[in-house]
Amino acid sequence: MTERLEDIALKMMSSGKGLLAADESTGTIKKRFDTIGLESTETSRRDYREMLFRTDAAMTNCISGVILYEETLFQKAADGTPLVDIIKAAGAIPGIKVDKGAKPQALFPGETVTEGLDGLADRLKTYYDAGARFAKWRGVINIGDGLPTWGSIKADSQALAHYAALSQQAGIVPIVEPEVLMDGKPGTHSIDRCAEVTEWVLRTVFTDLYDARVNLEGMILKPNMVIDGKNARKASVEEVAEKTVKVLKATVPSAVPGIAFLSGGQTSEEATAHLSAINAGYDLPWSVTFSYGRALQETALHAWGGKAENVAAGQRAFRHRAEMNSLAALGNWTQELEKAA
């Protein structure tokens, strides 16, 4: 029997669990590996991700789904077990990043549009057969002098809606990710400017999703938090939580089952603290959790260092961050728990 999109989405938003974004492109993971002096090869990328996926306590108790890069979806562990099967054995759902990245938008200096719609319907069938039950597509919005423009927001919004419709047609839950960058150029905007742009973007996205006949109960939203620019950080944890919730309540229909935040340039502990404050302080119509990449993985990557003898240390670091974010998804994280763990 075909799984209902709504049921998959609800499982992705299981209480106290969130998503591990392990979908770094080959170029991005090379940059991460460069920080530990490790060459990025198919084998080293596999070993790193296998280390994470085999962290049983973290995967079983804290992770509901894993976003994969295409290479990883078809990779096998060192012992020949498909990585997808390791994820499933932990009770998590395999997913797949399907966009082809943000490219410069013609006639819109300083802005991008995400590509990857060509051939997507056929790729989604292949991904479904390989075990993927959700997908992710990221649109990127930069705040700057005169940016963003309506034309750029609209182009990315329509691409997100088209992708979401194609995904649902293939039996795959779409994660819709419109990211207003905190670390874009110049990254000096205020939290109020971020709130204004984020509200503009989300209103546009949900209008286009509706026009594309996307089933809101069978999708997940992956937005940025409302936060000041990376080079202008002043906002408190409480202010980030307050303004994020205000924007979401003004734009996100209650039919959407869940919101899984991206970390978007925040430190690991910042991303955890903000998520916990949002869940602890507000009555929300959606499940709210994490869909973190670097904020879940950075300490694990450095603890591992690319060395087989450090796998256990890497797994301990990953488990710690997963457990802290699991607490945050319930609104129960505190700095005291962070330090005590």
Whole-angstrom Cα distance, residue 294 to residue 318?
A: 11
Residue 2 confidence (pLDDT): 72
> Does the pLDDT at position 6 exceed 90?
yes
What is the structure's pLDDT at 43? 98
Q: Are 329 and 289 in contact (CB under 8 A)?
A: yes
CA pair distance 9, 218, nearest whole angstrom: 6
- Identify the pLDDT of residue 16: 98
Q: What are 199-218's pLDDT values in tens digits?
A: 999 999 999 999 999 999 99
222 in catalytic set: yes
Q: What are the C-alpha distances in Å from 239 to residues 84, 124, 147, 192, 331?
A: 39, 40, 24, 10, 16
Q: Across all residues in the chain, what is the average pLDDT?
A: 97
- Pick the catalytic residue from 222, 242, 298, 323: 222
323-to-241, 267, 289, 317 alpha-carbon distances in Å: 20, 16, 13, 10
Handedness of CA 264, 135, 166, 208 (dihedral sign): negative
What pLDDT digit, counting tens, does each position of 15-59 carry?
999 999 999 999 999 999 999 999 999 999 999 999 999 999 999
Average confidence (pLDDT) over 151-174: 98
Q: What is the mean pLDDT of residues 92-98?
A: 98
Location of structure tokens 């997940």 = 220
Instruction: Count CA within 13 A, CB hemisphere, residue 205.
Output: 32
Amino acid making up residue 298: E
d(CA 128, CA 95): 9
**pLDDT of 1 above 70:** no
Phi, psi of 53 (to 5 degrees): -65, -25
Q: Are 164 and 116 in contact (CB under 8 A)?
A: no
Which residues, in sequence order, are bridge partners of residue 177? 138
Choosing from 24, 50, 111, 177, which is the catalytic residue?
A: 177
Count of Cβ atoms closer than 10 Å to residue 36 Cβ: 14
Closest alpha carbon to 200 in 240, 143, 258, 256: 143
Clarify whether 177 is annotated catalytic.
Answer: yes
pTM value? 0.98
CA distance linking residue 323 with residue 340, whole number of Å = 12
Q: What is the pLDDT of residue 184?
A: 87
Beta bridge partners of 261: 290
Q: Residue 303: which H helix or E strand, with range?
A: helix 294-304
Q: What is the pLDDT of residue 133?
A: 98
Give the Cα separation of 96 and 267 in Å (integer). 25
pLDDT digits (tens, 9 = 90+) for 273-294: 999 999 999 999 999 999 999 9
